[in-house]
Amino acid sequence: MPHLGFFVLAWLVARSCQLDCESSSRRPAYTDISVECGTDYMSLSILICPAIYSGYNESLLILNNMFNDPACKGTISTNVTPPVVKYRFPLNMTNACGSVFMTTSSAGTGVFSDFSNIQTVNISGVVRSYDPTTGTVTYNAELKYYYSCAYPLEYLINNTRIDVSASSIAVKDNNGSFISTLSMALYADSNYTSPLVIPPLGIELRTKVYVQVQATNLTAQYYVLLDRCYASTSPHPTNSTYFNLFVSCSRDQMTNVSENGESQHARFNFPAFRFLEQQNQTVSTYYLHCITRLCEKSTCSTFRQCRKRRRRSVDTGLAENGVTESTTLSTRVPIVTKAESIMAPKIEAQTASNDDSSKGLGVAVGVLTVAVIVVLCMAAVFYRRLKHK
């Protein structure tokens, strides 16, 4: 009876002819796998021709030992040259095709230096070859394609992607970012349905500003938790004045946090204010920024508890932490508030000037009166002397 491996090899030869493997029929290499770290799905692409050269087809490349799950099978794509076998699975612990989720914590640095627990989730796994050869020996090399995606779970909300350096694990690692799923919007009502429209002359002081930070197209594995939200006079607060609306459980008495770490959106509101350094301007303009954490649903309650913050010197601020344009974003539309009437200081100045004038006139009249009395007294004295003579 012919060896089973003979039939497999014959089928693979025919398969390689169909797939146009002439230019890539070689032994496998470390560069044969590529990984795409999406916000909701991960995708793997493995060059199939080197695998065929080693004695395997796409059905024999098994993702995380998931033999019986059709959703975890690889499919051949001939739309690219050379052809690849593709895998695509959701970022969810329950159906990520056996991928391992590992969350690590470290102390925050840079703009996150106020926080002692910055998390990163690493999602990893392996595609292994399955050798169908029966008997005592085999001539097929075992193939292992390792993959990994590292996602930071803390962001300064920005329209600009935050790139994080990779760490190499086995064959192929990659970095993902959820920053593109996060957005911040301002509303005029407590139902968060009417966008806040800011006129050219600004909104009135004490107008309620409702803020929502939301994640869209994000895996359901994570909720949105705001660690810190603040306002600054510059859209890029490297050297500008800033005001903390809240940091963890410490918040300004006028700020109200209505929802945080309970779903894929967080909400808070505050009354419109103005910066004193802009008091001589007709309007006060500032920008909102939020440091946002993505936490696993099971751990968000832990982060909602009050956390101790490391003390920061008054002289060390956002400028020292190196916030640059590539990592800083404010609200798309700045918040503009009407300044207090600039006529009041002028009226007060005029009133003060009038008071000063009145006081000066009184002093002059008094001096003149004294001078007249002195002259009259001297005239009386001279008159008496002349009369005696």
The answer for residues whose C-beta is within 8 angstroms of residue 258's C-beta and 6 or more apart is: 267, 268, 269
83 and 201 co-located in one domain: no
> Model-level pTM?
0.66
User: Does 374 fall in a domain?
Assistant: no
- Whole-angstrom distance, CA of residue 222 vs CA of residue 220: 6
197 and 329 co-located in one domain: yes
Biggest distance spanned by C-alpha atoms of the chain: 169
- According to the model, what pLDDT value does residue 148 have? 95
User: Does 350 fall in a domain?
Assistant: no
User: Does 34 fall in a domain?
Assistant: yes
- Whole-angstrom distance, CA of residue 187 vs CA of residue 318: 27
pLDDT in tens, the chain (389 residues): 444 444 444 444 445 446 778 777 888 888 899 999 999 999 999 999 999 988 899 999 999 999 999 999 999 998 888 899 999 999 988 889 999 999 998 888 877 777 878 889 999 999 999 988 888 888 888 899 999 999 999 887 753 332 333 322 234 567 888 888 898 999 999 999 999 988 888 888 899 999 999 999 898 989 999 999 999 888 876 678 889 999 988 889 999 999 999 999 999 999 999 888 887 888 888 889 999 999 888 888 888 776 544 433 333 333 333 322 223 334 656 888 876 544 433 323 333 444 555 555 565 666 677 676 766 767 666 666 665 55
Contact of 251 with 230, CB cutoff 8 Å: no
- Whole-angstrom distance, CA of residue 41 vs CA of residue 89: 6
- Whole-angstrom distance, CA of residue 379 vs CA of residue 70: 127
Picking from 149, 173, 195, the residue at the C-terminal end of a domain is 149
- For residue 234, which of 102, 329, 103 has the smallest C-alpha distance? 329
9 and 141 co-located in one domain: yes
- Whole-angstrom distance, CA of residue 252 vs CA of residue 60: 60
- For residue 46, which of 126, 131, 132 has the smallest C-alpha distance? 126
| Structural domain boundaries enclosing 271 | 181-338
100 and 189 co-located in one domain: no
- According to the model, what pLDDT value does residue 326 have? 26
User: Does 135 fall in a domain?
Assistant: yes
CATH number at residue 250: 2.60.40.4100
CATH number at residue 129: 2.60.40.3210
